[in-house]
Amino acid sequence: MRRENKVATAMIISIMVFAMVLFSFNARPVLAQATVPRNETVWGAGFGMNTGSYQAWNMGSNQGWTTYLMYEPMFGTNVATGEIIGWLGDSIAWLNTTTIQITLRSNLHWTSIGSSLATNTTAITTDDVIYSFEILQQTGQLGSLVQRVGDVSTAFEKVSATVLKVHVLPSYDGSSEVYRQLTYGWLIFPKAVWSDINATYSGALSTYTNDWQDTTMVPAKWRVASGMYLPYYHDATSTIGVINENWWGVDDTDFGRLPKPNYFGYTSYSSNDLALLAMERGDLDWDGNYLAGLTTVKAQYPNVVTYFDDLPYFPDKSPVMLVPNHKNYPLNQTWLHKALASVLNYTAMSDVSSGYLKEPSPMLIPADDAAARALLNSTIESKYAITYNVANALAILNTYCTYDSVGGVWWTKAGVTPSDPIQHYPLQEWNYPYSNATAPWTILDFMGWTDVNAMDTVAAQSFSSLLNIQTQVEFISGWGTVQVRMNNFQFDLADMVMSGQINMNMYERYFQMFSPLSSSAGGGVNAPLGGWYNQTFINDIELLDTFPAGSAAQWAVANEMQEILGEVMPVIPLAGHADWQVYSTTYWKNWPNSVTNPMLPSSPFAGTTQNANLLAIVFALNATGATTTLPPDYTLVIVGAVIVVAVIAIVVVWYIRRPGK
């Protein structure tokens, strides 16, 4: 062999060896996170988190996962059964139409890591509850609860160490919303510790991450929590909590033991495909990513299970919809919304999402949220059901437009119609160059959101091929970039997918999506939807909570809102947004299931409507008895590979320096 060929061969071998070493080292991402026994650990994924932040008051803002296990709420709701989940709270009830009484469990106590402010026997009291809500108000977390009760410091009355009363403002006499929000999963934290933290940081709690791994920021006196797990480890992508041997639940008659997993880890994967591989081989126990092709996977890997045993597998939690730019004419017209919605094939939408999606409701109420459906009028819902009807869509367009076969666009006949029943933005803010109904248009979408990308692609193809409204999808990288574009109305159509979770009633859903007072609709990523409203509808949102729950008067308001939404404010829903929760029974069993263990919401995602459910799910888990060996030690492999590469390099140098023949 010629010297040049030998050198080339040697170099190729070196590269191959090095690549093999790297691949073997990165093949099992979960096992590389930390040396905790696999069969003692629940591993979850699918939630974007800040692994270095554990702000108990800021639970809706992607905290490190251990936050939701180290602090606990008073209550929660299992929507699947209608039962209140009592955690720190023992009972909650109306005393009269303006007073709610809450009683805590007896013998609750904090766990202290060498703190001078609390010990392992320091009781959790109503002082801690009231102070936690004061901090929640201080940091702007309570929203409409403050609107209904006023200032927490006066509305929350301590009766004893375990009993408090919450007084409702007279204008919200009997408010079901106050009761609901008090049963949310607001995390409770120790007053002695957090009053010290709040004073130290002069009330600027957003700058305090509460990262127990940072011993300078979090001295021992501040390391106090109550939950089943305490911080153990975190890096840039993962968090791990370790069992709290001092947890109060061991001595409580409703619990009487520690949870079975000794560790709870949460991590991330660079792609949904890697997460699916981890589920298949048992490296991941609980995943909230969109995992395609589960029908085949479940047949091949019986350890992979879902909430529903059969398709569509997942609960419907919220609507996915297209939001038109309501400053652009004619995108802000009701007739156009109806035409576009009429060519959406919901079977095709579900098919491109592996059959996981349920048909959306024209009332934007998910199929599996009993809290949301309590005031849903099925007759009105059926009346405005969106049916696939291309002929009807074309008839609508022909009524309001003229088709230009040469230019390939539709032109509106009447131009701008200020009397349109939807009061959008002021007319002077509308954009209507040429009164052109089909620009062409672009759908703004989030790059990497596999299911939504597929749905938007189907919608664009339908508008283009069936209606001659040329539409394409623009995939944008980065949540912030999309939000800026939407807030500045630099789009034609955009995908809205961030509305709500299970356990949000009709008031909460419509307020979030349509009320100008909603931070989500008024200034967040859903701002374009919030700027599109009917004044009667807006007034009715607040009226919903001024009548007794389930009363004829409340039903009358709800019915009027649903008629307005169907006729005057028609939306363009793409699908019911599935709650992608996939479980593995390799190491842990007793996961939520619609038949044997109904629990909704069943998400591990953080949120005030979900935290007690998360804790109940974790506590209910039992080990399957599967055993594991420790993760492979790659040290010898790496050292050996380095030696091999070094030897090859020496050989290469020797060949180069050897005199030619």
Rounded-to-integer distance, Cα 166 and Cα 552, Å: 27
pLDDT for 239-258, tens place per residue?
Answer: 999 999 999 999 999 999 99
C-alpha 156: how far from chain center? 30
Q: What percent of the chain has pLDDT over 70?
A: 83
Rounded-to-integer distance, Cα 251 and Cα 105, Å: 11
| Angle, CA of 70, 71 and 77, to the nearest 5° | 120
Structure tokens at 553: 């008067």
Rounded-to-integer distance, Cα 400 and Cα 410, Å: 9
Asked if the model's pLDDT at residue 32 lies above 90, the reply is no
Stated pTM of the model: 0.86
Rounded-to-integer distance, Cα 42 and Cα 584, Å: 10
Least trusted range by pLDDT, from 122-136, 544-558, 582-596: 544-558
Cis omega (within 30 of 0) on the bond before 528? Answer: no
Strand extents, DSSP E, 145-248: 156-158, 163-167, 187-188, 224-225, 229-234, 239-243
Domain boundaries of the chain, sorted by first residue:
3-28+631-657, 38-270+584-623, 318-431+498-576
Least trusted range by pLDDT, from 113-117, 303-307, 502-506, 584-588: 113-117
Cis omega (within 30 of 0) on the bond before 219? Answer: no
Structure tokens at 459: 């919608």
Domain 38-270+584-623 has CATH 3.40.50.2300: no
pLDDT for 192-211, tens place per residue?
Answer: 999 999 999 998 999 999 99
Give the pLDDT mean for 327-347: 91
Q: What are the angstrom distances between the C-alpha of 81 and each of 186, 316, 502, 611? A: 21, 16, 13, 17
pLDDT of residue 485: 84
Rounded-to-integer distance, Cα 459 and Cα 495, Å: 11
Give the β-pairing of 409-412 and 239-243. unpaired
DSSP 471: E
Cβ burial, residue 457 (10 Å; 0-12/13-18/19+): middle
pLDDT of residue 165: 99
Residue that has been written with the tokens 């975190």 in this structure: 234
Tell me the pLDDT band of 660, cut-offs 50, 70 and 90. Answer: low
Tell me the pLDDT band of 61, cut-offs 50, 70 and 90. Answer: confident
Rounded-to-integer distance, Cα 372 and Cα 365, Å: 6
Rounded-to-integer distance, Cα 33 and Cα 266, Å: 10
Alpha helices in 384-472 (DSSP H): 390-400, 450-467
SS3 2: coil
Rounded-to-integer distance, Cα 60 and Cα 71, Å: 14
Going by C-alpha positions, the residue among 255, 230, 250 that lies closest to residue 240 is: 230
Q: What percent of the chain has pLDDT over 90?
A: 67
Give the β-pairing of 572-578 and 286-287. unpaired
Rounded-to-integer distance, Cα 616 and Cα 606, Å: 14
Domain 318-431+498-576 has CATH 3.30.70.380: no
**Which residue did the predictor score with more confidence, 77 or 438?**
77
Tell me the pLDDT band of 529, cut-offs 50, 70 and 90. Answer: low
Average pLDDT over the chain reads: 87
pLDDT of residue 3: 53
Annotate 554-569 with DSSP letters as a single string.
HHHHHHHHHHHHHHTS
**Which residue did the predictor score with more confidence, 324 or 586?**
586
Sheet of strand 572-578: strand arrangement: 471-476, 441-446, 493-496, 316-324, 572-578
pLDDT for 539-566, tens place per residue?
Answer: 999 899 988 889 999 999 999 999 999 9
Rounded-to-integer distance, Cα 579 and Cα 311, Å: 13
Rounded-to-integer distance, Cα 379 and Cα 562, Å: 10
Annotate 400-418 with DSSP letters as a single string.
HEEEETTTTEEEESS---T
Rounded-to-integer distance, Cα 270 and Cα 506, Å: 36
pLDDT of residue 654: 54
Tell me the pLDDT band of 597, cut-offs 50, 70 and 90. Answer: very high
Asked if the model's pLDDT at residue 291 lies above 90, the reply is yes
**Which residue did the predictor score with more confidence, 214 or 419?**
214
DSSP 89: E
Please enumerate in sequence order all residues whose Cβ is within 8 A of that of 474, keeping only pairs 6 or more positions apart, or say none: 442, 443, 444, 445
pLDDT for 260-290, tens place per residue?
Answer: 999 999 999 999 999 999 999 999 999 999 9
pLDDT for 348-396, tens place per residue?
Answer: 999 999 999 999 999 999 999 999 999 999 999 999 999 999 999 999 9
pLDDT of residue 326: 79
Asked if the model's pLDDT at residue 180 lies above 80, the reply is yes
pLDDT of residue 330: 85
